[in-house]
Amino acid sequence: MFIKRAWIIVLLYLLTAGFNASLLAQAPTVSASVDKNKILLGEPVLLTLEIKAPPGSKIQPVKIDTLPHFEFLSKDSIVKDSAEGQLILRQYFRITSFDSGRWAIPPIVLNAEAKTASVLMDVVFTEPFDPSQPYHDIQDIRSIPFKLGKQFEKWWYMIALLLIMMTLVVYVMTGEKKPRAETKAYKSAYTRAKQQLAELKKAQVPESRFYARLVEILRAFLSERARVNSLQQTSGDLVEKIKPLFNDGQLYQSLAQVLSLCDLVKFAKYDPEDAEARSAYEVIDKGVDHIEEGIRNAAKLKKDEDRRTEMIHKK
Amino acid sequence: MAKTGEEIRQLNEKIVGAGYFVDALRQEIGQVIVGQHHMLDRLLIGLLSNGHVLLEGVPGLAKTLTIKSLATAIQANFNRIQFTPDLLPADVIGTLIYNQQQNEFVVRKGPIFANFILADEINRAPAKVQSALLEAMQERQVTIGDHTYKLDDPFLVLATQNPLEQEGTYPLPEAQVDRFIMKVIVRYPEMQEEQLILRHNVQGEKLPPIRPVVNVQEILDAKSLVREIYLDEKVERYILDIVFATRYPGRYQLEKLAPLISYGASPRGSINLALAGKAQAFLNKRGFVIPEDIRSVVYDVLRHRIGLTYEAEAENIAAENIIDEVLKAVNVP
């Protein structure tokens, strides 16, 4: 009796279990998946919607028009497939988001029993900075071998030839003219000063102009020959600057007095005697000669000194 | 007014006669002040050219003693005003106070009513006090209540600024600083000078009292003579060239200075350079100005009138360096 009842229970159980299993096998299932769970703003993501159902099932297509925080970029048509005796309907959506934050793709409902789980998605503004990572260039520096285009090769030959020619021309020009230019400057400062002094002596100019011109000639000569920025020096400063150029103390004193006299004429409308003008002229003239001689002697001495030093070094 | 050569010669002679007190003053003050000849000369230039002088230097460089000695030697009044953050304009120029006995308001004149004023640490007082003083300096008169009072003549204000402390100070704006004819940097004494100062102080030697060597009237006469000193057109042109070079460096082949100067010297700079040049000529007992006079005062007259850019400050370039370059570029007549 007991065995009979147990058999009935087992039989009933097997019957109900088989019925339930057949029922479950017939219910369609739906799932949603994404190819990545973290995107930058505007970065596309592939959303795959997959429905599995028994063959011959009538499945109403799922209409997804909007997803909160997401935009649809494209919708592919539904692809039919079958596997393990089941019908598989697959649809791909390309979506993106322009809202940064953590958003969920809500469950997509096929029917009351079949719906997807919600999919979490992080939408970030930028990749977070990881201070623990070593610094590196945005892109590794690549070495690219230099290759000259064939069309330029002949030009390179031309440029090289031109450069050689230019170097030769410059060498010929400077190599010969450099010492000449020095001699010219050296001579011209002195000769020009003397020439200008001679012209001033002959010219009939007002006294104020005569003295101003006298100082101008001296200043220009000093500027060029003695490398003294005499044009920007006051008479007092100039007298101090030219002191080392004079061995003759008396001439130096006279020159200082003449410069002072010139200041009087220029700035205080002083009217000097003719004799003073002649004397001032002579002092400036002698001063120019003296400075020129001093500079020549100094240059000669330096040359001798250099030669002597060279000989000592050779020995 | 154009002068003839003869007039200039006569003026020269007058100045040689009238300028005797310069040496006397230098000698008298030299008994009390060791060194600081530059500061004394600049005070005299300020006095003779009717200007006011801004002194900048660390404390303890005999600024107060110098002006006090100068006032005594000239027989003039001297007042010192210590500028503090709580000072009021009335504390400087004076105010009306109520007299109960006479039942009326009476004027209480402030310390500005003197020939020589030492405005000590002027940048410690707020702007309203500074501007009250600077206005009085400019106008040479102050108004208290309904009455306007003329200030004494000669009237020389020496304002000091301490360059070391910056906290709790109100730096003078450029427009106010421009009113000073010169900004003089008072430097430390030389070692030998300081040795003398040290000896005087350690041995407790009493300084000889300053004797009056000149009176106020003689100073006023000298001031009018200074105005008459001949300034040739060529020297005028030299002054203008210097000032314009600070404004338009490019015109004088000084393009490299352009990014260092935010603003050049004002027309007041030209005027004061000419006035200070005349006073310098007087100190040298000359009736006419030569470029050397201009060059000797140019740093003190222009250093506070040239605005420097951040670039200049970043490169430690001072106004003096700018003036150096300008003088190297401008041709002397």
Kindly list the structural domains of chain A, giving each domain's residue range(s) and its CATH number in brackets, ordered by start.
Answer: 27-124 (2.60.40), 188-305 (no CATH)
Residue A242 has what pLDDT? 82
Residues of chain A with Cβ-Cβ distance to B230 below 8 Å are 267-269
Are B266 and B304 found together in one domain?
Answer: yes
Among A9-13, A132-136, B153-157, the least confident range:
A9-13
Residue B89 counted as domain residue: yes
Residue B246 to residue B275: CA distance in whole angstroms? 19
Q: Percent of chain A scored above 70 by pLDDT?
A: 86
Residue B169 to residue B122: CA distance in whole angstroms? 9
Residue B274 counted as domain residue: yes
Residue B161 to residue B157: CA distance in whole angstroms? 13
Residue B223 counted as domain residue: no
| Residue from the list A232, A263, A269 with its beta carbon closest to the beta carbon of B331 | A232
Tally of domains in chain B: 2
Which parts of chain B fold into alpha helices (H)? 5-18, 20-30, 37-48, 63-74, 89-93, 127-139, 174-177, 191-202, 216-228, 233-247, 267-283, 291-302, 310-314, 319-329
Q: Interior CA angle at B329 toward B323 and B331, to 5°?
A: 115
Are B79 and B175 found together in one domain?
Answer: yes
The 3-state DSSP class for residue B119 equals strand
Are B193 and B288 found together in one domain?
Answer: no
Average pLDDT over residues A53-66: 79
Q: Which residue of B has its CA nearest to A267?
A: B232
Average pLDDT over residues A113-140: 82
Are B271 and B177 found together in one domain?
Answer: no
Residue B48 counted as domain residue: yes
Residue B41 counted as domain residue: yes
Please state the ipTM of this predicted complex. Answer: 0.78
- Residues 6 or more apart whose CB falls under 8 angstroms from that of B84 comprise B124, B125
Instruction: Give this prediction's pTM.
Output: 0.66
Chain segment B257-296, per-residue pLDDT in tens: 999 999 999 999 999 999 999 999 999 988 899 999 999 9
Q: Is A234 close to B3, i.e. CB distance below 8 A?
A: no
**Is pLDDT at A6 greater than 70 in this prediction?**
no
CB A49 within 8 A of CB A107: no
Which tokens in the block code for residue B174?
Answer: 């450029």
Q: Does the CB of A240 have a partner CB in chain B at under 8 Å?
A: no
User: Which of B164, B184, B218 is the endpoint of a domain?
Assistant: B218
Question: In CATH, what number is assigned to the domain containing residue B126?
Answer: 3.40.50.300
Q: Which domain holds residue B253?
A: 230-329
Residue A287 has what pLDDT? 86
User: Which of B180, B197, B218 is the endpoint of a domain?
Assistant: B218
Residue A71 to residue A142: CA distance in whole angstroms? 39
Are B239 and B284 found together in one domain?
Answer: yes
Residue B7 counted as domain residue: no
Q: Is B329 close to A268, i.e. CB distance below 8 A?
A: no
Question: In CATH, what number is assigned to the domain containing residue B236?
Answer: 1.10.8.80
Are B176 and B298 found together in one domain?
Answer: no
Residues of chain A with Cβ-Cβ distance to B284 below 8 Å are none
Are B47 and B142 found together in one domain?
Answer: yes
Are B66 and B139 found together in one domain?
Answer: yes
Residue B143 counted as domain residue: yes
Are B121 and B238 found together in one domain?
Answer: no
Indicate the pLDDT class of residue A12, thresholds 50, 70 and 90. low
Residue B66 to residue A310: CA distance in whole angstroms? 60
Q: How many CB pairs under 8 A join A and B?
A: 52
Q: Is A267 close to B330, i.e. CB distance below 8 A?
A: no
Chain segment A198-233, per-residue pLDDT in tens: 888 888 778 778 888 888 888 888 888 877 788 888
Are B319 and B247 found together in one domain?
Answer: yes
Q: Does the CB of A252 have a partner CB in chain B at under 8 Å?
A: no
User: Which of B153, B188, B218 is the endpoint of a domain?
Assistant: B218
Residue B3 counted as domain residue: no
